Amino acid sequence: MSTVLDHIPADAEIGVGLALLTGTGAYMFFLAGSRHRLAAGEMFFAGIGGHLEPGESLLDCGRREAMEEIGARIEYIAYPGETLYLGTDGSFRIVDASDAVRPLAIFEMIHLPGSPRAGGVYHIVIYQARLLTEPGELKPDEVAGLLTLSREQVIGSLTRRASLRQLLDEGAELYAGDREPPDPAVKLYPIGTAEALATILQQTELRGEWYGLVEMDDRLLKYTVIFARMNGQFILIRNRNQTVWELPGGKREEGETNAQAAGRELYEETGALEYELTPVGVYALHGSFGMVYVAEVRRLGELPAYEIAEIRLADELPPDLRYGNIYYGLYDKVAVYWKDGGKSPMTPEAKKGQ
C-alpha cells in the first residue's frame, strides 16, 4: 500500500494546506498580509499551512503552521473518499493513499509571478481539519485577517472576484484580531488550498452524489454509511482519536460484500446485536461509490474494543458531525425514505444528481 508521499516526486517542493472547518461548518482561510505582493485593490485568500520542514511529518507540519499562523490548535478529519491529484493542467486523478489520516487532495500549484520561485511547482497536500481552539495571535505580515466562507461562497470564488464587503453581507465572517481590518472594497480571489478546495467542491456539485437504488456491480461499492436508529433515536459514535461525533460506517474489507461490510461496521462501532439493515441508495464521492443503509436496532450489546470510544443516542442529527457536509446531504435522501414509510426514495431508473 502506498502513502500520499509516494505520489509526489522525491525532489519536489512540498507543503501542507488545511481545508479548515469551523464549528458552524464554514471554511476558514487567511487573507494575505503585507509581505505578499498584491495588485492594487486585490487580495488573495488561502488555506492555513506552509512548507514541510526537514524531518517533519505532514501532520506535524499542519499542526505547527496552524499554531504559527493563527495561534490555534486543530484536529484532523480523515477524508472518507478517495484522495485526488489535481495537476497544473486542470486534470483530476485518484491516487491510492493508505495514510491513517487520508488527505483530501494533492494540488500542484504554480508559484505566482513576482514571487521568489515564480513558475515553479509547489505540491500541497491538503487535509480536512477542524478548529479545536479559537484563533489567537495572527502571524505578523503573513496574515491580514481570517475569513470564514460557506461552501457556496468557496465554489463561487472560482467565477467571481467578490469584494470583502459583498462576502460579509452574504454571511461571511472576518477576524482581524487587534489590527486594522482590510479595506472592505478589496476584491478577493483564491490561491493554493483555497483554489483546490473550490475546484473539488465545484466538481462534486456538478456531477451529483446520489444515484438511488440503481443496478450496480457490488464490487464497485467500497464504502458504507449507516443511519442507525434505536427507539426512534439516532445512534452516534465517537472514534477514540476524535472529539467529534459521526455515523457508523466505513470501508469494506477484502472478500466482503457491501452488505456484509455494513453489518460488520454496525456491530464493531455500536455493539448492535439485533437489527434490521436496509439499503436505501448508492452515493458517489470523487469517483468512488458507497451504499447508504438504514438500521433499526432492537438490541445493543457491549461495545467491542475496536476504534470506537463511546456511543450515544440523539433525537436528531447534531450540527457539528465529523463529516457534516456529506452526512446532511445523504440524510435528506434517507428522510424521504422514512417519510414514505420505508419505500425507496428513488426508482431503479433514477439518474445521477437527482
Chain segment 44-70, per-residue pLDDT in tens: 999 999 999 999 999 999 999 999 999
Instruction: Give the mean model confidence (pLDDT) for residues 289-312.
Output: 93
Say if residue 169 is exposed, middle or buried (CB neighbours under 10 Å; 0-12, 13-18, 19+).
exposed
pLDDT of residue 353: 27
pLDDT of residue 79: 77
Mapped to the 3 state alphabet, what secondary structure does 69-138 carry?
HHCCCEEEECCCCCEEEECCCCCEEEECCCCCCCCCEEEEEECCCCCCCCCCEEEEEEEEEEECCCCCCC
The pTM (predicted TM-score) of the whole model is 0.64
What does the alpha-carbon distance between residue 222 and residue 289 come to, in Å, rounded to a whole number?
Answer: 6
Rounded (to 5) percent helix, strand, coil in the chain: 20, 35, 45
Cα distances (Å, whole numbers) of residue 137 to 63, 72, 142: 15, 9, 12
Domain spanning 210-339: CATH 1.10.150.20: no
- Does residue 344 carry a pLDDT above 70? no
Instruction: Give the mean model confidence (pLDDT) for residues 306-315.
Output: 93
Which range is least confidently modeled, 50-59, 93-102, 199-208?
Answer: 199-208
Indicate the pLDDT class of residue 185, thresholds 50, 70 and 90.
very high
> Do 295 and 226 form a contact (C-beta atoms < 8 A)?
yes
Say if residue 119 is exposed, middle or buried (CB neighbours under 10 Å; 0-12, 13-18, 19+).
exposed
What are residue 171's phi and psi, to 5 degrees? Answer: 115, -5
> Do 290 and 81 form a contact (C-beta atoms < 8 A)?
no
> Do 108 and 165 form a contact (C-beta atoms < 8 A)?
no
> Do 2 and 98 form a contact (C-beta atoms < 8 A)?
yes
Indicate the pLDDT class of residue 116, thresholds 50, 70 and 90.
low
Instruction: Give the mean model confidence (pLDDT) for residues 282-287.
Output: 78
Instruction: Give the mean model confidence (pLDDT) for residues 228-235.
Output: 96
Q: The cell 498584491 sits on which residue?
A: 38
What does the alpha-carbon distance between residue 145 and residue 275 come to, in Å, rounded to a whole number?
Answer: 50
Instruction: Give the mean model confidence (pLDDT) for residues 191-214.
Output: 78
Report which secondary-structure segment, H or E, holds 64. Answer: helix 58-70
Percentage of residues in the chain having pLDDT higher than 90: 54
Q: Where are the domain boundaries for CATH 3.90.79.10 in the chain?
A: 4-207, 210-339
CATH of domain 4-207: 3.90.79.10
Instruction: Give the mean model confidence (pLDDT) for residues 242-257.
Output: 88
Report which secondary-structure segment, H or E, holds 58. Answer: helix 58-70
